[in-house]
Amino acid sequence: MVAGCGCSATHVSHSADHRPIGVFDSGVGGLTVLAALEQALPATSFIYLGDTARLPYGTKSPASVERYALQCAAALVNRGVQALVVACNTASAASLPALRQAYPDLPVIGVIHPGAQAAVAHTRNRKIAVLATEGTVRAGAYQRAIERMDARVQVTSIGCSVFVALAEEGWGEGAVAELVAKRYIGALFDSPDAPDTLLLGCTHFPLLRKTLTALVPNGVAIVDSAETTARAVASLFADRSWDVQGRGGSTFLATDGPERFARVGSLFLGRLIEVSAVERVDV
């Protein structure tokens, strides 16, 4: 176990390793994680797989999500990745033990542990609000992760599923986003004993960060699980002294709808994805 990232790996190499890092999600939300990874490790190559044929994972049973995650991981492992990043909250909650059992020699990093760890580190009054999808809230994964780190922390979880649709429409800012955000969290900070830390527990939600920042009181920390996951991956490779310097660049795979993947995914990645750059695959 590597302290600080909630991942495990038995393979240690001190020589140059130019293999890509595999990243997967149920769709395009995990591209916010990829964007942060590209920034944290600019010379590293990545392969991103969006399981768009079976999204959303949040409505599926944990057993189905685990099966899907294992299939996505197998597709990436077959392409020679040196690590797996599970850029999906639902899959992180449901499948990490099975993935680590299936691939004991690969680091497997999810988004929940790094986000929870950063939120615990930021909070001063031990009150954290987690914004997530209804499925993630029901699973209680962030609450359990936070309580394992500090049982004294009070966690308020709020299901904000409409944020997903806003992000995918490119409406993360503006009047509509502001009204929806006020509906979800407007009353959260009315109390003087309100949370001082807001954890974005969905990979779609960084697209609403500016709207949320304008809405919360000064001094409230907003923790982005995409950024924290990227830092955890970069820290893991630094701790293991692995040389991941390569040519850089990302390869995109989707199990359905390359056109939509490219169009909507460009919003999440923060740069244009050409349709011709998206390979349709079966897993």
192 upstream amide cis, omega within 30 of 0: no
Show Cβ contacts of residue 140 under 8 Å, excluding neighbours closer than 6 positions: 157
Q: 265 near 54, Cβ under 8 Å? A: no
What is the rounded CA–CA span in Å between residue 170 and residue 190? 29
For residue 88, indicate whether it is catalytic. yes
Residue boundaries of the structural domains of the chain? 21-110+228-280, 113-225
Residues in the chain: 283
Residue among 5, 7, 72, 88 flagged as catalytic: 88
160 is an active site residue? no
In the beta sheet, which residues pair with residue 86?
24, 110
Residue of 5, 7, 72, 202 with catalytic role: 202
- The CATH classification number of 21-110+228-280 equals 3.40.50.1860
**Structural fold of domain 113-225:** Rossmann fold (3.40.50)
pTM of the model: 0.88
Helices and strands: H and E segment counts in the chain = 11, 10
Mapped onto helix, strand or coil, the DSSP state of residue 256 is coil
pLDDT by residue, tens only, the chain of 283 residues = 333 455 544 444 445 668 999 999 999 999 999 999 999 999 899 999 999 999 988 888 889 999 999 999 999 999 999 999 999 999 999 999 999 999 999 999 999 999 999 999 999 999 999 999 888 898 899 999 999 999 999 999 999 999 999 999 999 999 999 999 999 999 999 888 899 999 999 999 999 999 999 999 999 999 999 999 999 999 988 876 555 555 678 999 999 999 999 999 999 999 999 999 999 999 9
